[in-house]
Structure 1
Amino acid sequence: MNDHPLPTLRNQLLSLHKQLMNTERTAYEAAGNVIQSPMQFLQLLMEHERFAWLRQLSQLVVMMDEAMEEKPPITKERMDALVAEAKHLLTGSEEPGSFAVRYAKAREHASAVAAAHVEIIKSLG
Structure 2
Amino acid sequence: MSSVNSSLDSALQQLREVRLSILRLHKALLESERVVYEQFHGRIQSSGEFFRLVVDHEWFSWLRPISQFIIQMDDVLKSKEPVTIDQVNILLDQAEQMLQPNQEGSTLEKRYYRAIQRDPGIAMMHADLTRLLANES
Please report the TM-score for the alignment, with normalisation by the length of structure 1. 0.92
Q: Secondary structure at the match of 1:91?
A: coil
Corresponding residue for residue 20 of structure 2: 11
CA distance in 2, matches of 1:80, 1:48: 33
Out of 122, 130, 134, which is 1:113 matched to?
A: 122
Corresponding residue for residue 36 of structure 2: 27
User: Unpaired runs of 5+ in structure 2?
Assistant: 1-7
CA distance in 1, matches of 2:127, 2:32: 17
CA distance in 1, matches of 2:113, 2:105: 12
CA distance in 2, matches of 1:24, 1:71: 36
Matched, 1:66 2:70: no
CA distance in 2, matches of 1:41, 1:6: 29
User: Unpaired runs of 5+ in structure 1?
Assistant: none
Label 1:67 to 1:92 Cα distance change in 2 as closer, same or farther (>3 A): farther
Match runs of 1:38-117 below 5 Å: 38-91=47-100, 94-97=104-107, 99-117=108-126
Structure number with greater Rg is: 2
CA distance in 2, matches of 1:20, 1:107: 9
* 8 A contact 2:117–2:123 mirrored in 1: yes
Amino acid at match of 1:49: E
Corresponding residue for residue 4 of structure 2: none
The percent identity for this pair of structures is: 31
CA distance in 2, matches of 1:74, 1:85: 17
Amino acid at match of 2:128: E
Amino acid at match of 1:3: S
CA distance in 2, matches of 1:100, 1:81: 20
**Which stretch of the first structure deviates more once superposed, 31-40 or 5-14?**
31-40
Q: Secondary structure at the match of 1:35?
A: coil
* 8 A contact 2:44–2:50 mirrored in 1: yes
Structure 1 runs of 4+ with >3 Å offset:
none
Amino acid at match of 1:95: G
